[in-house]
Amino acid sequence: MKAALLESVKNINVKDVPRPGVDENSVLLRVRACGICGSDLKFFNYGDRVKKFPAIIGHEIAGEVAEVGNSVDNFVVGTKIALGNEVPCKQCETCKKCLENVCDNVLSIGTTLPGGLSEYMLLNEDVVSRGPINRMPDNITFDEAALAEPLGCVVNGLEFAHMSQGKSILIIGAGPIGCMMINLAQVMGAGKIVVADAQEKRIRLAEHFDADRYVTSGDFLEESMSISPHGYDVVMSATNNIQAHESAIKAVAKGGFVNIFGGIPRGLGDAIALPVNLMHYRQFSIGGSFSQTREHHRKALEYIAGGKIRTKKLITHRFALDDVRKAFNVVEKQEGLKVIINP
């Protein structure tokens, strides 16, 4: 079979590799769609979270079951499924707190386990028994189902930030995640949605999602605060820019919530200055969300199947597996929103 091997930082190549064999407790998945995530770009550029090279990355996955082990009774050949990426142990203290996405012993598809940039991938016993696997609704495509993984992260992030009817929200970063945040905030009844990004081409694409206002200033804070002088009930910093994270904290309203959603690549400084008096007198909360649980992923599939997510606007590029380098180039140059590989 063909697979895209990340052989070292910035070095990805499509090669013929042995097709995985199925034991009695595993499942072989025929990958039909795999999105390229901003996290994949971090893995590509920095080796972030990759445990061993060569690695098959890719964790926004949908496909159909091609082979089933003799002891597996919850899947049959032909079952269409979509995957989240964090496989929890379900035994640690963190899992017992219903925080399976940040499990102490987590396995991650596309980093610690082989990912979806391949024609086939093995779902081992850990993934089959504990993984964030959900069956695809009948009325969506494989490409749309692959969107459930990033959308599940957005579901987690907005729920964590207590997004609800009537609240104002500032979204910093107008990439695919930021556009999903616009869309889902609308579904959740946001009163005002403002989006900020220094890249004009990002804003142009995000305009298809009909936020109330768009801010293109490099120093977005002043302009954003002129739109909502009392600040925003929810601030989502969907970027890996440390200065943007610091500005996000200053944009929150009294009693609001700031979600530092975007991680910083390995090797770059991740410390920010916290304005303690601002936090004290505005009585707001600040936190960060990571990935998703199986339940968040299931909700994401339901939103997509219900026609609530503008999937046709989100997916701007599709590539064959052989063109994976071109696909990464599109993501790196921010030429579109969601890029899908169809192996």
Structure tokens at 139: 């009325």
In the DSSP assignment, the letter for residue 109 is B
Contacts of 110 (CB under 8 A, 6+ apart): 40, 43, 55, 56, 57, 58, 59, 85, 116
- Are the CB atoms for 161 and 234 separated by under 8 Å? yes
For residue 102, with 0-12 CB atoms within 10 Å meaning exposed, 13-18 middle and 19 or more buried, which class applies?
middle
Domains (range + CATH), the chain:
2-150+292-342 (3.90.180.10), 162-287 (3.40.50.720)
What would the DSSP string read from start to end of 18-81?
A: PPPPP-TT-EEEEEEEEEEPHHHHHHHHH-TT--SSSB----EEEEEEEEE-TT--S--TT-EE
Contacts of 11 (CB under 8 A, 6+ apart): none
How far apart CA 186 and CA 165 sit, in angstroms, is 9
Structure tokens at 255: 């009693």
Closest among 122, 108, 25 to 290, alpha carbons compared: 108
How far apart CA 36 and CA 146 sit, in angstroms, is 10
In the DSSP assignment, the letter for residue 101 is G
The rounded average pLDDT for each run of 10 residues, N- to C-terminus, in the chain (343 residues) is: 94 95 96 94 82 90 97 94 96 96 94 95 96 96 98 98 98 96 98 95 95 89 94 96 92 97 81 87 95 96 97 96 96 94 97
- Are the CB atoms for 241 and 265 separated by under 8 Å? no
- Are the CB atoms for 262 and 248 separated by under 8 Å? no
Give the H/E segment covering residue 178: helix 176-187
Report the alpha-carbon angle 299-300-305, nearest 5: 95
Q: Which residues of 287-303 are buried (b: 16+ CB within 10 A; e: fewer)?
A: eebebbbbbbbbbbbeb
Other beta carbons less than 10 A from residue 83's beta carbon: 30
For residue 216, with 0-12 CB atoms within 10 Å meaning exposed, 13-18 middle and 19 or more buried, which class applies?
middle
- Are the CB atoms for 19 and 1 separated by under 8 Å? yes
Read off φ and ψ for residue 151, nearest 5 degrees: -65, -35
The pLDDT assigned to 39 comes to 87
The pLDDT assigned to 266 comes to 73
